[in-house]
């Protein structure tokens, strides 16, 4: 292998910015969680925490004060709720933290806040550089709003059918069917075309 060593996760940003997001969630009675040293940390043991923990295969660590417990280097904060509650929060949070944070959904129930300098496009660019792969030869497939930057950056960006409009737009309308409906075959055909 050549290229730079793999970096550690990029912190979300200044601690005060993370506290703003936590306060925003608290004021709206939304479940918010953080990470510290690969641990999932929450302030309250709520059903939303269990939904996420079961999906991610992680244990829940309840702490007294999320602001203090997350420390200065949490890589992301996640608000977990229903898709109906997340949609208006997504629009508001993007306006509020424009240029300061990446705000996107990975699945409709998870609203993720990450560093403005860290997204899947920069991760794919790093991997391509590290592995000596030209951008034009890279392929990215996704279905979440957090995939849009990566899909737009890749030589071939593909969205899964049913993805949000911004993801399909990032893929220049290149789509494949959902898993179990011929998506891999269509992707292989696109790559080999």
Give me the residues of the chain with pLDDT under 70, please: 1-12
Supply 169's token pair: 């737009």
CA–chain centroid gap for 72, Å, is 19
The enclosing domain of 147 has a CATH number of: 3.40.50.1000
- Rounded to the nearest 5°, which phi and psi values hold at 147? -90, -15
Shared domain check, 125 and 108:
no
The answer as to whether 7 is a domain residue is no
pLDDT at 9: 60
What is the reported pTM?
A: 0.83
| pLDDT for residue 11 | 67
My answer on whether 62 and 127 are in the same domain is no
135, 156 Cβ separation under 8 angstroms? no
Same domain? 126 vs 44: no
pLDDT 10s digits, 92-143: 999 999 999 999 999 999 999 998 888 899 999 999 999 999 999 999 999 9
Helices 83-96 and 15-27, interaxial angle, to 10°? Answer: 140
Instruction: Give the range of the structural domain holding residue 135, as residue numbers without chain letter.
Output: 120-192
- Does the residue 10 lie in any domain? no
């Amino acid at each position: 292998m050549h290229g730079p060593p793999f970096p550690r996760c990029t912190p979300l940003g200044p601690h005060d910015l993370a506290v703003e997001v936590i306060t925003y969630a608290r004021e709206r009675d939304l479940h918010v969680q953080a990470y510290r040293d690969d641990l999932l940390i929450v302030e309250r043991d709520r059903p939303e925490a269990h939904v996420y923990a079961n999906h991610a295969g992680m244990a829940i660590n309840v702490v007294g004060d999320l602001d203090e417990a997350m420390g200065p280097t949490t890589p992301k904060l996640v608000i977990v709720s229903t898709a109906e509650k997340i949609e208006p929060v997504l629009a508001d949070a993007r306006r509020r933290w424009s240029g300061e944070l990446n705000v996107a959904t990975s699945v409709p129930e998870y609203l993720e806040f990450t560093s403005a300098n860290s997204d899947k496009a920069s991760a794919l660019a790093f991997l391509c550089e590290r592995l000596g792969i030209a951008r034009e030869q890279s392929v990215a497939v996704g279905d979440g709003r957090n995939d849009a930057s990566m899909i737009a950056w890749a030589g071939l960006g593909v969205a899964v059918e049913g993805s949000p409009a911004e993801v399909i737009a990032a893929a220049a309308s290149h789509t494949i069917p959902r898993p179990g409906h011929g998506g891999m075959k269509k992707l292989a055909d696109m790559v080999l075309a």
